[in-house]
Every structure is written in C-alpha cells, then in structure tokens.
Amino acid sequence: MAEIELYHFWDSFCSFKVRICLEEKRLKWTGHHIDLMAFENFKPHYLTINQKGLVPTLSHAGQIIPESSIINEFLDEQYPQPRLTPEEPVARARMRQWVKVEEDELFTAVRPASLNLMMKQVFAKFSEADLDRLLATHPRPYLIPTLKKMFLAPPDPKAVAQSRKMLATALEKMDRALAQSGPWLAGETYSLADIAAAPVIDRIQRLGMADLWDGLPALKSWVERIMNRPAYKKAAPPEGCWMPSPVAQV
C-alpha cells in the first residue's frame, strides 16, 4: 500500500486543490482516477471510500480522509515542510476565512457555469435510461429526479449569468483584501488559502470569464503569481484530461 493515495478527478477543482498542496510539498502520491463524467463516483467500490460519492479522498497509510480543505490541513500538519499555514494567529485566522470563502462562495458561484458550459456537453451523450442506470447507486437517491432533469436540460443562460454575477462579487472582495494586505490572501505568506482559490481561478479562465479580473489589479497580479508556481503547473490536469471548453457563451 502506498503511503499517500489520492482518489481524484483531473478536472475537479477540489481535487486540483489537494494536488497543488501535494506538489508544493513535493510528496510522492499514487492517484486513482474517478471519472466524474462517467459517474464513477457512485460505483459501490468508491462509495465504501467516500460515502457521499464526492472527490477528492485521501488515503494516508490506509486511513481515509475526505474533504479537500481538511485533507490540505492534514497534509500540512503531517508534512510540515514547506509550511503552508502562517505562524501568526491572525494570519492563520485569515487563511481559514479565505478557505471558507472558497468553499461557500467561489465553489457555489462557479458550479452553475461549469455545469451548463462544460459538463452538459459531456452529459448530452446520455439518454434518460443511461442516467437511470448510472445514477442508480447515488447515495442520496431522493436527488436523482432533480439531477436527471438538470443534466438533460439544455444549457441555461440565466444560470451562467448568475454564476458570473456571484463570481464578480467574490473576486472584487478578493481584490480589495489583496490590495490592502497582500501579497497573498492570508497576508505575507503563501498559504492553503491561495491553494484553495487557485483552481477556481483556472476554471473561471477556462469558462472564458477571465475578463472578470479586468480592473482588479491586485487580483490580476495574484492570479499571475499563483499560476506561475511550479506546483500549480504540475498539479494541473495533463493534456486530454480537461473537461471540454465552452463552445460558445449560451
């Protein structure tokens, strides 16, 4: 058994977040790819590892740890070099607040655009009967009718516009914080907060919405810095493992 095993999907931003942390620490890890576009996350084998059927999940010396932010905190404690949590308590609190902004605001904001502009291109190949079969082992079966309706419906421009609006609000907040007390989200040092937000930035860019940081200079400079880090480049999905680019804005 490898010491660090990661159950992940290449183009999931929660998985990307953990891969960046692993690469910043130059840790060796073994990956198990769970193809969300084929609903492999609902296969009985994976549900024994992650009862919610979500990625990522870390297995550390056989101990199972779900939830990307918890995994990253665990990795930072278990492998403290380089440290990705500031020493100073106020900066540490700020780091956790920004991780929460990623979970509560950025994650929620980017999902409708991802679903409508990227995932629906893949789901279009599925018939209703395919979805019935693929979702049959969903851990929350009461969600199946809503999910089916959502996956089979054509792209919804209103949902995409709503994503953009929510993202703009969150990104403006990030720009203000970086301008006031950057250069990183927690202040002086690069931390788990920057790692949490970086994959959402990648997704926004690939959704064709990078214009959202026009006029936000502190954010723009931070985006360049996070994307130029070697760990970010190593953690990014390899060629052919991205979800399809939006064909056109709906």
Least Å from the CB of residue 54 to ligand GSH: 4
Stretch that binds ligand GSH, among 22-30, 66-74, 89-97, 164-172 (CB under 6 A): 66-74
Least Å from the CB of residue 67 to ligand GSH: 5
Q: What are phi and psi of 40, to 5 degrees?
A: -65, -20
Structure tokens at 219: 């954010």
Q: Which of 68, 66, 65, 56 is nearest to 99 (CA)?
A: 68
Structure tokens at 64: 């199972």
Compute how many residues bind ligand GSH; rule: CB under 6 A: 12
Nearer to ligand GSH, 39 or 184 (CB): 39
Nearer to ligand GSH, 147 or 250 (CB): 147
Q: Per CB under 6 A, does 95 bind ligand GSH?
A: no
Estimate to the nearest angstrom the gap between the alpha carbon of 15 and the chain centroid. Answer: 6
- Map residues 6-45 to x or -, x wherever contact with ligand GSH holds by CB under 6 A: ------xxx---------------------x----x----
Least Å from the CB of residue 69 to ligand GSH: 6
- 46's enclosing H/E stretch is helix 44-49
Which residues are CB-neighbours of 163 under 8 A, at least 6 positions away? 109, 110, 111, 112, 113
Least Å from the CB of residue 136 to ligand GSH: 14
Least Å from the CB of residue 14 to ligand GSH: 4
Q: Per CB under 6 A, does 59 bind ligand GSH?
A: no
Least Å from the CB of residue 41 to ligand GSH: 5
Dihedral in degrees, nearest 10, Cα atoms 195, 197, 199, 200: 180
Which residues are CB-neighbours of 127 under 8 A, at least 6 positions away? none
Nearer to ligand GSH, 86 or 199 (CB): 199
What is the rounded CA–CA span in Å between residue 87 and residue 53? 35
Nearer to ligand GSH, 56 or 112 (CB): 56
Q: Per CB under 6 A, does 55 bind ligand GSH?
A: yes
Least Å from the CB of residue 215 to ligand GSH: 28
Q: Which of 146, 148, 121 is nearest to 134 (CA)?
A: 148
Nearer to ligand GSH, 95 or 216 (CB): 95
- 7's enclosing H/E stretch is strand 4-8
Q: Which of 10, 27, 1 is nearest to 239 (CA)?
A: 10
Q: Is-contact 2 29, C-beta < 8 A?
A: yes
Nearer to ligand GSH, 68 or 85 (CB): 68
Applying CB under 6 A, the residues found at the interface with ligand GSH are 12-14, 36, 41, 53-56, 67-69
